[in-house]
Amino acid sequence: MANSDLIQSVVRSLDILEVVARSEDGLTLQQLSDQLGLQASTAHNLARTLLAKGYLSKSTGPVKYRLGFSLQELINMQYKRTLLKIASEKMQQLSQDMPEATITLAEDIGGEIIAALRLSPDRPGNIQHNNRVVAPFRTSISLIFLAFWSDHARAAYMRRYPLWEFGLPLWKDEAQLEQAIGSIRRRGYASLHVEKSAVFSVSAPIFNNKNSFVAAIGLSFSKAAGSKGSLQEDQAIERILEAASEIGLNA
């Protein structure tokens, strides 16, 4: 008989997830038992296991089972792997076209801006997974997060890294920073010139297919490294915007 060698408890657990997903407002234990033809004790044990692993959640008054956060976490993990893979490929292309540039992909991990991927001129072709915290306020990539984060995420970050402590002297006050953030939102990218080291950096946001902000990609280089400083800046802005768009569309 087809599928006779399947593990029954696994099949029943998946059936529970399917019927719960189809319900409008969750299902009671009795409803689970009735819809799947299970004994109440069997339905309870399976639901309890799925609840413990986060694949179901449970409300009270009355007790109903709904899908838990672990399912979304699986989807997020898969999306992140795809995002990093596509970003790595795009970073390699950028590096070939602009070998003097350092290219970074950053993401929000627990409210911190983390440089997940880095490709630098001193290690050509070698994507570094260093997961370092990006300096607040002082990089174009950190400004992208301040511009495109939710209000809640941004407020939490500003409490963790007060501007007066981490943003001076680049930003004299919050009004100046807000003006810059407004400009970044309108242009769709952030750029910074570090005069002392003649470094130019530019970053752009990455949006998923639901138009949610998920990451940022940026590049930086010394203007002294080439003979076409202003042209290099224009090229860098154009290329980073293209890269961000392509990563978002294909991830």
| Structural domain boundaries in the chain | 8-67, 74-250
The pLDDT of residue 195 is 63
pTM here is 0.78
For residue 214, give the H/E element and its range: strand 213-222
- Tell me what pLDDT residue 2 has: 57
Segment (H or E) for 66: strand 64-67
Residue 171 is given by DSSP the state -
Q: What is the dihedral of CA 249, 133, 229, 87, to 10 degrees?
A: -20
Give me the pLDDT at residue 224, please. 67
- pLDDT at residue 1 in the model: 47
Residue 38, pLDDT above cutoff 60: yes
Question: How confident is the model at residue 227, as a pLDDT?
Answer: 44
The percentage of the chain sitting over the pLDDT mark of 90, rounded to a whole number, equals 76
pLDDT at position 198, please? Answer: 82
Q: What is the pLDDT of residue 10?
A: 95
The CATH class, in words, for 74-250 is alpha beta
CA distance 251 to 11: 31
Among the residue ranges 60-69, 102-111, 134-143, 175-184, the one predicted with the least confidence is: 60-69
Give residue 32's pLDDT.
95
pLDDT digits (tens, 9 = 90+) for 26-35: 999 999 999 9
Omega into 99 within 30° of 0, i.e. cis?
A: no
pLDDT tens for each residue of 45-96: 999 999 999 999 998 888 999 999 998 888 888 888 999 999 999 999 999 9
Q: Which residue has the higher pLDDT, 225 or 11?
A: 11
Q: Summarize pLDDT for 193-230 with one digit per residue, the tens.
A: 876 668 899 999 999 988 999 999 999 998 764 544 45
In the beta sheet, which residues pair with residue 75? none
Instruction: Please tell me the total number of residues recorded for the chain in this structure.
Output: 251
3 conformational bin, left if phi > 0, alpha if psi -120 to 50, beta if neither: left
Asked if the domains 8-67 and 74-250 are classified in one and the same CATH topology, the answer is no
Overall CATH class of domain 8-67: mainly alpha
Across the range 6-29, mean pLDDT stands at 93
